[in-house]
Amino acid sequence: MKYLNKSIKEINELLKQQRIKPIDLVNEAFENIENNNDLNAYITLNKEEAIKKAKELENQEVDNILFGLPIAIKDNIVTSGLRTTCASHILENFIPIYDAFVIKKIKEKNMIIIGKTNMDEFAMGSSSRTSYFGPPRNPWNKEKISGGSSGGSATTISAGDVLFALGSDTGGSIRQPASYTGIVGMKPTYGRVSRFGLVAFASSLDQIGPMTKKVEDNAILLNAIVGKDEKDLTSARVEEEDFTRLIGKEINGVKIAVPNYFMSDIVNNEIKESIKATIKILEKNGAIVDYIDIKYIENAVTLYQIIAMGEASSNLARYDGIRYGTSEENPKDIEDLYLSTRAKGFGEEVKRRIMVGSYLLSGENAKIYYNKALSIRDDMRKEFKKIFKKYDFIIGPTTTTTAYNLSDPMDDPRKSFMDDVLVIPVNMAGLPGLSMPVGFDSESMPIGMQIIANSFEEAKIYQLASLIEKELKLNLNPNGGEE
């Protein structure tokens, strides 16, 4: 009997009526993962602990909708006692001694951590191919990438192993793989979810978010992980709210902007067609859609590279082989310890970004590049704010193409950033953005649409997304019709 393909309300009822136990869900999840082993979605499974936790929960009251549900965690979110590698050799054997804020939150909800998902090394990449543990495969076509950097979380959700996963998004790392694998991925407003315990890539951009198959599940998981955290000074103090509260409400009269850049030649035609078809549905439901120009969004990738790589070069300095992680045995001296540990511990893409980032912050460059990028970022934020005075949403495709082949060359470092050209502006402006499936291309690969709203308006995004989901009724099972 399968339960993880039911709605979470049904599962919750079954648990409450004690017709199933958490252990049934845990066993089913591990069975699924075992069957999908070739997808390489996980770096570490938490089998023993998960089973133990499930047994413990048998004696507890089912006190919330997420009770007893298995969840997969991206491997850059630290979990006490459970290996956290960031898909890097340098943290290959790193077992954290504390839980990230979001992990504490999901443990409070009595969710069960099933394992740590594959990703690009230190979240640097857009195809999860920079993982030290090899790339995950796309459940819709195993020869294709799942995207990245949260590729493993996207894969396991898409394949239907579990209903919930956490990812992180610095420059599209939740939304882009969500788009490639036909799932729902939300990057919340910067500051909405505490970063305490998220291994830093680019501190001013990183944000943890939920990845699920259904829109409502996504909102429910977001409900569980938000909140002001005194341990993260960039965590926002905002009033508690229910992100599902607008789901099902009419959208008559909402104003939507479509940036011309998002529908320009850089985007594949099949994707544009799919987006246009979705826009028609929205208009049918009373939305007013305008095509507009947004200043600076063409520059977002350049700015992103400067800010993200600059911050990364500093954030990754701590991996020196002294206090934790992989360490060079018997170094000649301290210099040798640093050089050998880091030369062997980091992969090529990470090293490339550390080098470029160090260069960008060197001497006068900091002023020429980093500080200037910060100031243009401010202008970009203001431009978005201006647009949100007139519009409720900005929408467009999440990606310029659908998932490409795993065998495609990786020798052009710029390509990885260009994959994220449509998602990066959202990080730069600190806005919430969600990707959801809206169709398939001629090769049956999922097409994703991005919905962007003003800061802290995630609930509105879920309102629009749930309507599209209801109207489209897509079959999102990669294995075809069989449920």
Partner 1 sequence: MSEYIPTIGVEVHLELKTNTKIFSDSINGYGEMANSLTNVIDLGYPGTLPTLNEEVINLAIRAATVLNCKIRKTMHFDRKNYFYPDIPKNYQITQARTPIGYDGYVEIEVGGEKKKVFIEEMHIEEDTCKSAHRGTKTLLDFNRAGVPLIEIVTKPCMKSGEEAKAYLEKLKEIMYYCDISDCKIEEGSMRADTNVSIRKNESDPFGTKAEIKNIGSISNVGKAIEKEIERQAKLYDNNETFKPQTRRFDDKLQDTVLMRIKETGNDYRYFPEPDIPYVILTDEIIEEARKKIPMLPDERKKIYVEKGVSELNAKKLIQNRSLSDYFNTLLEESINFKIASNMLLGDISAYLNKYEKTISETTLTQERFIELVKSYEDNIITSKNLKDILEIVLESDKSIKEIIKEQGIENISDDKEIRQLIKRIIEENKESVEDYKAGHDRAIKYLMGQVMKETKGKANPRIANEILVSELK
Q: Which residues bind partner 1 (CB under 8 A)?
A: 77-78, 84, 86, 91, 94, 96-98, 100, 195-200, 202-204, 230-234, 310-311, 313-314, 317-320, 322-324, 334, 338, 358, 361-363, 366, 370-371, 374
What's the min distance (Å) between Cβ of 189 and partner 1?
15
What's the min distance (Å) between Cβ of 256 and partner 1?
32
Query: What single letter denotes the amino acid at residue 41?
Result: A
Query: What single letter denotes the amino acid at residue 381?
Result: R
Please name the residue that has the structure tokens 């709210």. 241
Look at strands 393-397 and 255-259 and give their pairing.
parallel
Which is closer to partner 1, CB of 125 or CB of 325? 325
Question: Is 150 in the active site?
Answer: no
Query: What single letter denotes the amino acid at residue 317?
Result: A
What's the min distance (Å) between Cβ of 17 and partner 1?
39
Which is closer to partner 1, CB of 367 or CB of 470? 367
Closest-CA residue to 33 (of 130, 119, 118): 118
Q: Which residues contact 118 (CB under 8 A, 6 or more apart)?
A: 40, 41, 42, 43, 75, 87, 128, 131, 133, 134, 135, 136, 151, 152, 155
Question: Is 173 in the active site?
Answer: yes
Question: Is 264 in the active site?
Answer: no
Closest-CA residue to 99 (of 210, 257, 229, 214): 229
Query: How many CA atoms within 13 Å lie on the side-chain side of 163?
Result: 30
Angle CA 267–270–274, to nearest 5 = 100
Q: What sign does the dihedral 166-310-97-347 (CA atoms) show?
A: positive
What's the min distance (Å) between Cβ of 344 and partner 1?
16
Which is closer to partner 1, CB of 231 or CB of 390? 231
Phi, then psi, of 165 in degrees rounded to 5: -150, 155
What's the min distance (Å) between Cβ of 427 and partner 1?
13
Which is closer to partner 1, CB of 101 or CB of 261? 101
Q: Residues 88, 127, 173, 455: which is the catalytic one?
A: 173
Query: DSSP string covering 368-436, please?
Result: IIIIHHHHHHHHHHHHHHHHHHH-SEEEEES-SS---BTTS----HHHHHHTTTTTHHHHHHT--EEEE
Q: Residues 88, 128, 146, 149: which is the catalytic one?
A: 149
Q: Per DSSP, what are the bridge partners of residue 210? A: 166
Look at strands 433-440 and 446-453 and give their pairing.
antiparallel
What's the min distance (Å) between Cβ of 337 and partner 1?
9
What's the min distance (Å) between Cβ of 232 and partner 1?
5
What's the min distance (Å) between Cβ of 80 and partner 1?
10
Which is closer to partner 1, CB of 158 or CB of 194? 194
Which is closer to partner 1, CB of 232 or CB of 270? 232
3-state secondary structure of 51: helix
Please name the residue that has the structure tokens 């076509």. 141
Phi, then psi, of 405 in degrees rounded to 5: -75, 140
Q: At what angle do helices 101-108 and 215-225 cross, to 10 degrees?
A: 110
Which is closer to partner 1, CB of 171 or CB of 396? 171
Q: Per DSSP, what are the bridge partners of residue 292? A: 259
Catalytic residue annotation: 74, 149, 173
